[in-house]
Amino acid sequence: MSKQTPHTRADYRYFQTITTRWMDNDVYRHVNNVNYYSFFDTAVNEYMMREGVLTLDSAAVCLVVETGCQYFSPVAFPDLIHCGLRVAHLGNTSVRFEIGIFRNDENVAAAQGHFVHVCCDRDTQRPLAMPSAMRTALEKLRV
């Protein structure tokens, strides 16, 4: 990945609020780099569950094949995280989400990254054409 410019909130289509936890901070007193991916994972799955296109029992599950993040400025407990979400690419079986991490009321992203899901059959774990309801929900986030 080349060095990106931080996005602003206007670059995203949907926002999910996530509370930080005391143990998110590491010895450097900021949210540890690992936890940002938990915010990505949560925003993406919560969006799909709220849209009714993913349940804990879905025949079609979404497996992660690639993730990445660039960190611009720290966040720290007890900051509130606002995750901006958008869809940058929507293929036959896969989707590339892009996520911006906004700290409290800030308009410029503290971090941003991507998250690639492949839609798979729960039992065989083989790729599956994305169900149309899922595709419709994801189209709403497309940029």
65 binds a copy of itself (CB under 8 A): yes
User: Residue 48: in which H helix or E strand, if any?
Assistant: helix 35-50
Q: Which is nearer to a copy of itself, 10 or 29 (CB)?
A: 29
- Rg from Cα positions in the chain: 15
34 binds a copy of itself (CB under 8 A): yes
Other Cβ atoms less than 10 A from the Cβ of 141: the count is: 20
Other Cβ atoms less than 10 A from the Cβ of 48: the count is: 19
8 binds a copy of itself (CB under 8 A): no
**Which tokens in the block code for residue 11?**
């670059």
94 binds a copy of itself (CB under 8 A): no
Binding stretches for a copy of itself (CB under 8 A): 1, 17-23, 25-29, 32-35, 37-39, 41-42, 45-46, 49-50, 56, 61, 63-71, 74, 76-78, 125
